[in-house]
Amino acid sequence: MARDQRDYYYRKAKEEGYRARSAYKLKQINAKFHIIRKGSKVVDLGAAPGGWLQVARELSGGIVVGVDLERIEPVEGAVTIQGDITKDETLEQIAAALGGQADVVISDAAPNLTGIWDVDHARSIDLSRAALRIAKRLLRPGGSFLVKVFQGDMFDDYIEEVKREFTSVHFYTPPASRKESAEIYVIGKKLLSAPVRPGEVYEVTIESTGRTGDGIAMIRGFAVIVKNASPGERLKIKIGAVKQRFAFASIVERI
């Protein structure tokens, strides 16, 4: 309590009516990355006590849904759901409250801490992976994702997982994070709806040539641009960068 009373953001939250000092983390993250905009449909996973929910509602002014295993005290203008986000019935409640898909999924949830760093880090990654799985189910194509992660030796692997699902991925520690904290926030922008992901390998036939002279193959109706390839060639390719409407690939082998 003594530390909290000395903490600038703790005092500021009390003065301005926010339920948690973490409200300023979301404000700072959004000021930098602009993931929540006016009218955005937002889902807050692990929303209790509701500090992020308050800010999300302010930023969006639209439909905002908070979900937690614990009861969330009502937030004006937001929908609160008490339920397990890993259960289909909870996801159905969220979708019904949204009236469709979300534009943004956010999560500031943290595991129950043991004080054993390796255990706490692993639990944080497990929780972040669950948030990513749920975000993929709730988000519209092109939607954004924000999640808290504890840094450690599993962090890089998690970042690669997020990169497979979003056009751009960033990580950031806002000024409101305590200096002694190992938390970092991962931001994924523009959820991919493409049938391919970076690193995947396919056998394809080059069907046509693009404006730059590179070959174009189609994978389940999705265009993949292959440098130094010609129409009619049969190739084994490896997917590189994936965009909303097309992807790039390199030649692994000419078949």
Any idea which residues carry the catalytic annotation?
148
User: Which two tokens mark 108?
Assistant: 């500031």
Which amino acid does the sequence have at 255?
I
**Contacts (Cβ under 8 Å, ≥6 apart) of 224:** 196, 202, 204, 216, 217, 218, 237, 239, 246, 247, 248, 249
- 């929303």: which residue's tokens? 47
**Contacts (Cβ under 8 Å, ≥6 apart) of 102:** 41, 42, 43, 65, 94, 138, 139, 140, 143
CA distances in angstroms from 141 to 54, 76, 100, 167, listed in the order given? 25, 28, 12, 11
Rounded Cα distance between 81 and 83, Å, is 6
User: Is the Cβ–Cβ distance between 26 and 4 less than 8 Å?
Assistant: no
